[in-house]
Structure 1
Amino acid sequence: MIKPYTGSETALNIDTDQADVVYAADKGKGWIWDIAVGKDGKPVLVYAAFPTDTQHDYYYARWTGKRWENHLIEHSGTWFPQTPAGRTEPEPNYSGGIYLDPSNPKVVYLSKQVNGVFEIYRYTTRDNGATWEQAAITTNTPAGLVNVRPVVPRHRKSGYFDVVWMRGTYQFYANQQYHTGLMFAGSAEERPLERLTLSETQLNLLEGTSHQLNVSCVPFLTPDKRVAWQSSDETVLTVKEGLVKALKPGKASVTVSGSNGITATCAVTVTEPHYLTNACFDFGTADSPLSPGALRVTESSRPTTTYGWLSPVLSRDRGHGQSDDVRDFNMGGEPTVFRVYVTNGDYRLTFKQGDKAYRHDKMTVKVNGRVVMQDMTVEAGALLTQTVDVVVSSNRLDIEFSRQGSDPNWVINALTIEPLKKTVNPSETIHGEALSAYLMTYFKDDTHGLYFAVSDDGYTFTDVNNGQPVIAGDTIAEQKGIRDPHIMRGPDGCFYLAMTDLHIYGKQKGYRDTEWERPGELYDWGNNRGFVLMKSNDLINWSHTVLDIHKAYPEFNLGCAWAPELIYDPDKDRIMIYFTMRKGKGRTKLYYAYMNEAFNALETAPELLFEYPDSTKQILDADITRLPDGRYAMMYVAQENPGGIKLAFSDHINKGYVYREGQVDYERGSCEAPNVWKRLGEDKWVLMYDIFSVRPHNFGFAETSDFIHYTNLGHFDQGVMRRTNFAIQKHGAVIHLTKSEAERLKTWYQQKKR
């Protein structure tokens, strides 16, 4: 609507019946894009109409003084997001975009599909929108790229940035599902480089830190923007493409040079941080009370030599009458890092968070990139105190505060850092003898039996029984077959085995008359009742138990129990068994329970170990590794497309695992059954997994030192990992042996063959 503004407070109050209709949506829903005022003082606007979600039409509307005149400019095509095959587009009304030239609204820039690719065009009208002349700004764009969302900057200098648009690949606006950049078109004449300008001319950096210098060319449209970077002393600092890395204390300069000899310089001073071993930080304003012995942190505290915020925050003091802990704090809406330089070692961090006036919900804290506290909520007037233990190996604590809740801010009131006794890595000895060999357990589909293979170096494995089962499945399992064997060494030095009691070919082998043990229409594929458990002092003589979970816990209506694994929980002083379980015909999930001391029954009922965020996906085959810093890393399988190995971390053995996107395996097809084992004498771990999507069946391997970055080791016999006398193995697990244990095992089976 058009309404004159008289200057009074109520002049722009609008009643709905006063509004003029520009577009009545008789051609489908509409989406306004831009509005401008013509040289005649009358407003003009452009919008998109959608007869259907796949037909986007651009319109030009002009106010005549009495009514709105509408003219079709162009049929632009469909939405521009590049919807993956098989998915429904969540934003079907995301048009390529249309924008008015604010200095001349008779010119519009728009994005439309040309031969299936979005291109940018300039449209000009000489008759108030009745007819249009068009000119291409982009042409022949490669398939797979889009040119969309043109914008004409207001108050631009003529010839500079006549139109700016987005170019690249785009599926969705969140979760980094796009890779785009900004493009521009201009008509100004290019001029030679006259001046270079650096983002800073003086820098103070701490040793071991880096800083990005940015350079600007004057004039902007100079044709040759090539520059070279140089450090005056590369023992103090280096520079590459403007990224300055401070190496040691000292002074040096960074010079950037244009191709015609024009230069700009930044003077840099590098200082050594002062490392703390303990500290108490009180967050507040410059004038709020300071706790005895604490270091004050305000919104102005930036890293100098010891600690500070890496980006801006706010400070608050709620005033008198409040305790020092809750009355003042720092806060922010965006993820922000508080950095503290410390000596390497183990530390206990105590956080205090609260606000007298407001509730703060769903706050998260990360330390050096790892989530240590998540989804924390503190009510107004309360103070939340929490403690976490961390290991520092980089001489700094980067503590990131963020929030995802309804309140726009996170808060931090106080932080205490205290040193702990250094964590000792697990011993690589047993009974005074060094661990020096590896034992792999596995099974095969054709026998459903248990197999052992040994290795002296962790690279080449040899089956101890020349590719034959060491224990036949029909001698130990209720279903006459075992699958998914997992072995561990307990704190008592004994060996413990857990296996799935299931023979998927039981009917063909004559062990039963039906396809499954129980009706498939009630309990689905591969239904079974529980596990086979075994214990040994020497890997040769075994006791065994059939663990019937269905009988022990009928309330679960057990559909299946697969892939049991074992790990010792020092807090409970019990072996924890964790496994894949399905209730009835539902989806498989991960559960855990604790074994009794005799290792022949469950001491606790199964409980949920981890909940996958997508409830429509099945998850299975968990494998938990205790890390040197006390955390737990859980590999597991999500049956996505393809199914693959995923990773979650927790500070607790049986809860708190945090979902992470992406997969850590290197397979194009599906894989399962992850197992992680450490290389003796090295800070390296091997991820082994079962690739059931290849023929012949095989194992895949990857190696890591930090459980973040992985090196692909390939498959058995296709890289560094080798087999000597077996193949088509399934669902393996590896533990360490002493030399004497390995030799005794090999000798036993060699003698049995004679």
Structure 2
Amino acid sequence: MKTVLIWLTLCFGTLMTTYANGTAYLFSYFINDSKDGLHLAYSYDGLNWTALNGGKSYLTPAVGKDKLMRDPSICQAPDGTFHMVWTSSWTDRIIGYASSRDLVHWSEQRAIPVMMHEPTAHNCWAPELFYDEPSQTYYIFWATTIPGRHKEVATSESEKGLNHRMYYVTTKDFQTFSKTKMFFNPDFSVIDAAIVKDPKNEDFIMVVKNENSNPPEKNLRITRTRNLAKGFPTKVSPSITGNYWAEGPAPLFVSDTLYVYFDKYRDHRYGAVRSLDHGETWEDVSDLVSFPRGIRHGTAFAVDTSVVEALIANCNFPLLGSRKGD
């Protein structure tokens, strides 16, 4: 009983600190086959996540071969605008884009033709957005397989021909974009890169999925840099996830704790690891987190509490978190 009281006191203290700091957290995600579009959840502590809008979609996909909205990645601009990119198809050479001032009303959706200059490109998977404040530049990066382009890796029969690397473009206004370039080219097939800035060390941490399939890795690794323009070292950490298949990492600092949320896609549930020393050591905290039922690969990001309060008011949904599995 004493242990429970201590735990509740700590949780309440974290919650009150978060309210005092005016910070809340949002998670953009998809469910099922992603054809119904963008879903959002919120949290005040990084552990308990509650679906917004009654679990219904905020935006239905309208671009791409398959009209999908997988892996929605949202980044808030300094002027408050929310920019979003997503996977529009299993085999597109474009990615989807839209923007919003309130996450409810969205601009017309557009296709960004990031790999149209590569006629044999197989895909554009899991695009992510990251805003670099010093250069006032947005980085958009994603995974693509171009047959015969990179060092071959052993693959399973079901993934034959897939050998992904990370590519990127930059933009300042989402109207004009740089030429597509290689972003991350390790000696393994890599997908699902996501970046977070370390507020203490003031460097950048990138979480990636080792996608090698023979023998299967299917786990998450990290690499760090102090200069985005120079890229990330291709020598990565050992796996930070456990003996399960993991993908879709979403890194997030909650105060001084670094969480990486991810899809345990074979187990049909979401998991998390966290680091209390800024990425040096990790512990699995999957049993401590709760997410909306059916959540799939998305992005976690911090916002002012007023953003979450407006979303809650808009859908007239309960303020406090849901039970695990709800």
TM over 0.5: yes
Distance 1:446 1:644, change over 3 A: same
> Residues 591 and 749 (structure 1 numbering): CA distance in 2 closer, same or farther, change over 3 Å?
same
* CA–CA separation in structure 1 for the residues paired with 2:163 and 2:217: 17
Q: Contact (CA 8 Å) 2:129, 2:139: kept in 1 or not? A: yes
Q: 1:600 to 1:539 in 2, by over 3 A?
A: same
Cα distance in 1, alignment partners of residues 306 and 63 from structure 2: 27
Structure 1 residue 477: deviation in Å? 4.8
Which TM-score applies when normalising by structure 1? 0.35
| Structural mapping, 1:182-581, within 5 Å | 434-448=21-35, 449-473=37-61, 475=62, 477=64, 479-502=66-89, 526-549=90-113, 553-555=116-118, 557-581=120-144
Match of 2:157 in 1: none
The aligned counterpart of 1:700 is 271
In the aligned structure 2, how far is the partner of 1:587 from the partner of 1:642? 14
For structure 1, list consecutive stretches of 5 or more residues without a partner in the other structure.
1-427, 503-525
Q: Give me the whole-angstrom Cα distance separating, in 1, the residues matched to 2:180 and 2:269.
A: 32
1:749 deviation in Å?
A: 2.1
Kindly indicate whether the alpha-carbon contact (under 8 Å) linking 1:530 and 1:562 is maintained by their aligned counterparts in 2: no
Q: What amino acid sits opposite 1:637 in the alignment?
A: K
Matched letter for residue 621 of structure 1: D
1:468 Cα deviation from its structure 2 partner: 2.0
Amino acid at match of 2:166: L
CA distance in 2, matches of 1:477, 1:467: 24
Query: Aligned residue for 1:721?
Result: 289
Q: 8 Å contact 1:610–1:657 — kept in the other structure?
A: yes
Q: Which amino acid aligns with 2:96?
A: V
Establish whether residue 627 from structure 1 lines up as the match of residue 198 from structure 2.
Answer: yes
- Superposed CA deviations along residues 522-573 of structure 1, whole A, max 9, x for unmatched, are xxxx3112111111111122114322426x7424632211111111123432
Match of 2:179 among 575, 591, 605: 605
Alignment correspondent of 2:314: 748
**Structure 1 residues 644 and 569: CA distance shift in structure 2, 3 A:** same
1:737 and 2:303 are equivalent in the alignment: yes
Cα 1:747–1:738 change in 2 (3 A) is same
Quote how far apart the aligned CAs of 1:490 are: 1.5
Residue pair 2:223, 2:237 contacting (<8 A) in 1 also = no
For 2:202 and 2:25, the matched residues in 1 are separated by 24
Q: Specify whether residues 582 and 461 from structure 1 end up closer, same or farther in structure 2 by C-alpha distance, changes over 3 A only.
A: same
Of the three residues 279, 283, 300, the one matched with 1:711 is 283
Distance in 2, Cα, partners of 1:556 & 1:573: 31
Decide whether the 8 Å contact of 1:610 with 1:655 is kept in 2.
no
Q: Which residue of structure 2 aligns with residue 588 of structure 1?
A: 164
Give the drift of 1:595.
2.1
Write the distance in 2 (CA, Å) between the matches of 1:648 and 1:622. Answer: 10
Counterpart secondary structure, 1:605: coil
Give me the whole-angstrom Cα distance separating, in 1, the residues matched to 2:34 and 2:194: 24
Native 8 Å contact 1:545 1:600 kept in 2: no
Distance 2:183 2:297 in 1: 21
C-alpha deviation, 1:750, in angstroms: 2.9
Question: Corresponding residue for 2:249?
Answer: 674
Cα shift readout 1:406-439 (whole Å, capped 9, x = no counterpart): xxxxxxxxxxxxxxxxxxxxxx99xxx9432111
Aligned residue pairs total: 280
| In structure 1, C-alpha distance between the alignment counterparts of 2:91 and 2:170, rounded to whole Å | 23
**570 and 556 in structure 1: CA distance in 2 versus 1, 3 angstrom threshold:** farther
Which amino acid in 2 is paired with 1:451?
H
1:575–1:594 CA contact under 8 A, matched in 2: yes
Letter in 2 for 1:591: Y
Distance 2:91 2:229 in 1: 25
- 1:732 to partner: Cα distance: 2.2
Give the C-alpha shift of residue 686 in structure 1: 0.6
Change (3 A) 1:586 1:464: closer
The structural deviation recorded for 1:586 is 5.7
CA–CA distance in structure 2, aligned partners of residues 568 and 483 of structure 1 = 21
Q: Larger relative contact order (C-alpha < 8 A, sep ≥ 6)?
A: 2
Please tell me whether the aligned partners of residues 72 and 298 of structure 2 are also in contact (alpha carbons under 8 angstroms). Answer: yes
Once the two structures are superposed, what CA deviation does each residue of 1:728-753 show, in whole Å capped at 9, x if it has no partner? 211021112222211111121239xx
Counterparts of 1:655 and 1:556 in 2: how far apart (Å)?
27
**Hey, which of these two has a bigger chunk of strand by percent?**
1
CA distance in 1, matches of 2:209, 2:108: 28
Other-structure match for 1:660: 236
Q: Find the residue that maps to 1:471 and give its secondary structure.
A: coil
Q: Which has the higher helix share?
A: 2
Distance 1:548 1:490, change over 3 A: closer
Alpha-carbon distance in 2 for matches of 1:675, 1:618: 19
How many Å separate the matches in 1 of 2:260 and 2:88?
25
Letter in 2 for 1:653: L
Deviations 1:311-340 (A, max 9, x none): xxxxxxxxxxxxxxxxxxxxxxxxxxxxxx
How much has 1:604 moved relative to structure 2? 0.7
Contact 2:168 2:182 in 1 (8 A): yes
- Structure 1 letter corresponding to 2:75: M
Conservation of the 8 A alpha-carbon contact between 2:94 and 2:116: no
- In the superposition, relative to structure 1, how do residues 555 and 660 fare at CA in structure 2: closer, same or farther (>3 Å)? closer
More deviation in 439-448 or 683-692? 439-448
Q: Deviations over 1:258-286 (max 9, x none)?
A: xxxxxxxxxxxxxxxxxxxxxxxxxxxxx
User: Is this contact kept in 1: 2:65–2:92, CA < 8 A?
Assistant: no
- Structure 2 counterpart SS, 1:460: coil
Aligned-residue offset at 1:446: 3.4
Secondary structure of 2:98's counterpart equals strand
Gaps of 5+ in 2: 1-16, 148-160, 318-326
Instruction: Write the distance in 1 (CA, Å) between the matches of 2:57 and 2:218.
Output: 29
Please tell me whether residue 685 in structure 1 is matched to residue 258 in structure 2: yes
SS where residue 109 of structure 2 aligns? strand
| Cα deviation 1:487-511 (Å, max 9, x = unaligned) | 1112222211111112xxxxxxxxx
Tell me, in whole angstroms, the C-alpha distance in 2 between the residues paired with 1:548 and 1:570.
23
For 2:162 and 2:27, locate their aligned partners in 1 and report how far apart those are by CA, in whole Å: 32
Moved over 3 A (4+): 475-478
Q: Which structure has the bigger radius of gyration? A: 1
* Contact 1:438-1:454 at 8 Å conserved across structures: yes
Q: Name the CA shift for 1:635/1:654 in 2 (closer, same or farther; >3 Å).
A: farther
Q: What residue number does 1:177 align with?
A: none
The Cα of 1:633 is off from its aligned counterpart by 1.0
